[in-house]
Every structure is written in C-alpha cells, then in structure tokens.
Amino acid sequence: MNDQQLLRYSRHILLDEIGIEGQQAMLQGRALVIGAGGLGSPASLYLASAGIGQLTIVDHDSVDLTNLQRQIAHTTERVGQPKAESARATLNAINPECQVDALVERVDDARLAALVAQHDVVLDCTDNFKTRHAVNRACVAHRVPLVSGAVIRFDGQVSVFDTRTEGPCYSCLFPQDQPFEDVACSTMGVFAPLVGVVGAMQAAEALKLVMGIGESLSGRLLLLDGLRMEWNSISITRNEACPVCGTQHQ
C-alpha cells in the first residue's frame, strides 16, 4: 500500500483483527454484487469505500423515481439511466481506486457461472426466487461463498451460504422445487432504512469472508423485525438430500 492508501484505510488498519494484512486482502479481493437496488446500493457503497479491489455490479434495470426512496446509490438526475452504471458513477466518486465493472444485463445460468467463478464472494441483492436460486447454484458449483439478504415491508433477513465449510446452501433453506410467491416492493412496500441495515450487513459479511476473519453467518439466518427492532437467529443445517449441495449430488 502507498501512503495515500495507508491514510485512507487507517481506521481499518488500527483494528488488530484487520491490520495491514487484512486491508491488503481487501485490496486484492473480488466481489460480485447481483442487483443494484435497495440492498445492492448500501452493500456496494461499503464494499467500495472499505477498499475492495474489484467490484462487479450486475443489474439489467434502469433507475426509476420510485427507487430513490431507498436505493441510495442513485440520484434524481440519473432517473432513466441503467442502475449498474449509475452505481458505478457513485462508487467511483467515493473511491476511484476501486475497479468497478458495471454489467447492464439479465444474466442466465451460463453467464452467472462464468461470473461467479471469477470472484471471491457473491452478494445476492435481488428480489426474486428464480434469480436467487440461479445464483446459489453457481456459487455451490464453484465453491464461492454467497451472502444473501432480503427485505420486504418492515422485515429483513440475512445469511451466508458457504458450502466450502459444509454449511447449507440457499436451497437447503428454501428448496428450489417448492413454490414461492415473489412479493414485490411495488405492491407491498418497504421501509427504506431496513434495506440499508441488511445491505450493510451483507457488505460486512462479505469483507469478513474476503479477509478470513471472525465467524460468518453460515448456518445461521438472522431475522429482523423492524417495527420492534428485534433480531432473531435461526440455526440452519445442510440438507443431505438437497438437489444442489446434497452429498448424492456432488
């Protein structure tokens, strides 16, 4: 690290658990963020400001006026612009040293597999089960840890799915062959600060994984009741019969 980097990241370096080595690991880390909306905005802001070396943001959608209530990576002037490119502009302004790749595309399984294989950690910041399961399958196949978050109304959840350590995958918790009804913010609403809380936690878990410090949320699902501001932790285990990560499918 040069003098400017030592100064920029000095508050991390002061932490015994991070220090020079941990910050260097972040500078060399590669994170993939799927979705540049309510969760992807705060998650990517903290990843970039903390010093992640390479950040790839994938989102096919454009900025809408209704997004601005909670999607803090975007501005009024960028309404109509692709979200991935808008987020890149914001991140470049915060930390020009972070290499941000903006992909304006709807990724299929093959594209996801290629992208996941190029990164050290994946953050699922999407809002539909089909994409979440596709991301999960790619992460399991390439043994890349997945940090998953979700928020609707006043409820949030966050967890880490890391099959490198025999932990469960997303499909163990929400089986991909089980019907789920996607609930959209446009019909149910979402309390803006909660996406900031969960998105920031996703960034924290991702950075811990990149540095190899602390204990991740693998095997635990945190549930947030935003009206009461209460957290609940649920233990989750690998389903040996899981069609994605179960032993007979490996």
What pLDDT score does 176 carry?
82
The span from the CA of 12 to the CA of 181, in Å, is 41
How, if at all, do strands 155-161 and 146-152 pair?
A: antiparallel
- Within-domain flag for 160: no
Structure tokens that stand for 90 in this block: 């914001």
At 166 the pLDDT is 85
Q: Could you read off the pLDDT of 174-227 as tens digits, one per residue? A: 998 876 666 666 678 999 999 999 999 999 999 999 999 999 999 999 999 999
Residue 69 falls inside a structural domain? yes
- In tens, the pLDDT along 115-161 reads 999 999 999 999 888 999 999 999 999 999 999 999 999 999 999 99
The residue assigned the tokens 């950040």 is 55
- pLDDT over 60 at 249, yes or no: no
What is the predicted pLDDT for the residue at 213? 97
* β-sheet bridge partners, residue 87: none
Q: Which of 99, 113, 108 is nearest to 30 (CA)?
A: 99
Residue 21 belongs to a domain: yes
Per-residue pLDDT tens for 2-58?
999 999 999 999 999 999 999 999 999 999 999 999 999 999 999 999 999 999 999
- Gap between the Cα atoms of 74 and 64, Å rounded: 9
Identify the CATH number of the domain in which residue 203 sits: 3.40.50.720
Would residue 202 count as lying in a domain? yes
Residue 180 lies in a domain: no
* 219 three-state secondary structure: coil
- What was the pLDDT predicted at 248? 58
Angle at 93 between CA 147 and CA 57, to 5 degrees: 30
Two tokens, residue 63: 């900025």
Residue in 104, 92, 110 with CA at minimum distance from that of residue 44: 92
Rounded-to-5 percentages of helix, strand, coil across the chain: 45, 20, 35
Tell me what pLDDT residue 181 has: 65
The verdict on residue 36 lying in a domain is: yes
* Higher per-residue confidence, 66 vs 184: 66
**Residue 233 within any structural domain of the chain:** no
Residue 15, domain extent: 3-150+186-217
In a domain, 126, yes or no: yes
CA distance linking residue 46 with residue 94, whole number of Å: 10
Q: What's the confidence (pLDDT) of residue 86?
A: 98
Number of structural domains, the chain?
A: 1
Q: What is the pTM of this model?
A: 0.94
